[in-house]
Structure formats: C-alpha cells, structure tokens
Amino acid sequence: MNELNEVAADFAGQIAAAVWLGKLTEDAAREALLSYAIACHQAQRTPCVRLREALVCEYRRRRARQDACS
C-alpha cells in the first residue's frame, strides 16, 4: 500500500475530524477521499486506487482514535 505524504495524511485527518464533529457524513467522507485520489493522479486507475486505499486506512485510523477519545 502507498505510504501517504504529510499533505495527504493531513487531508484524511481533516476529513475524519469533520465526520467526528458532525460536519460530514461517512458517505461524504468517502467521496472526498476518492475525489482527492482522483485529483492527485488525474484518474490513472492503479495509482488512484492505491492512494484511495491509503487515505481510507488513515481516515479509519484517525476516526478510531477520535472515537476512543469521546
């Protein structure tokens, strides 16, 4: 799986925070992460899929930490 750069990891964290605060739904979060991956790789399928998977993994990790704090 791709290792995320700092900007991508921070983006996933911001999306996670928005869901935690009730500003975004889970569906909207998934769409945002997919859109980010598409934008970064100009819709090149393989790198786009790998980045999306890495973003979702980071998003889930951060959401789990947020839930543990609540």
Enumerate the domain spans of the chain. Answer: 6-69
Q: Stretch 21-45: mean pLDDT, rounded?
A: 93
Contacts 24+ apart (CB under 8 A), 7-12: 8/36, 8/40, 8/51, 8/54, 8/55, 8/58, 9/58, 11/36, 11/55, 12/55, 12/56, 12/58, 12/59, 12/62
Whether 2 shows a pLDDT value over 70: the answer reads no
Under the banding of pLDDT at 50, 70 and 90, the label for residue 33 is very high
Q: Stretch 13-27: mean pLDDT, rounded?
A: 97
Under the banding of pLDDT at 50, 70 and 90, the label for residue 41 is confident
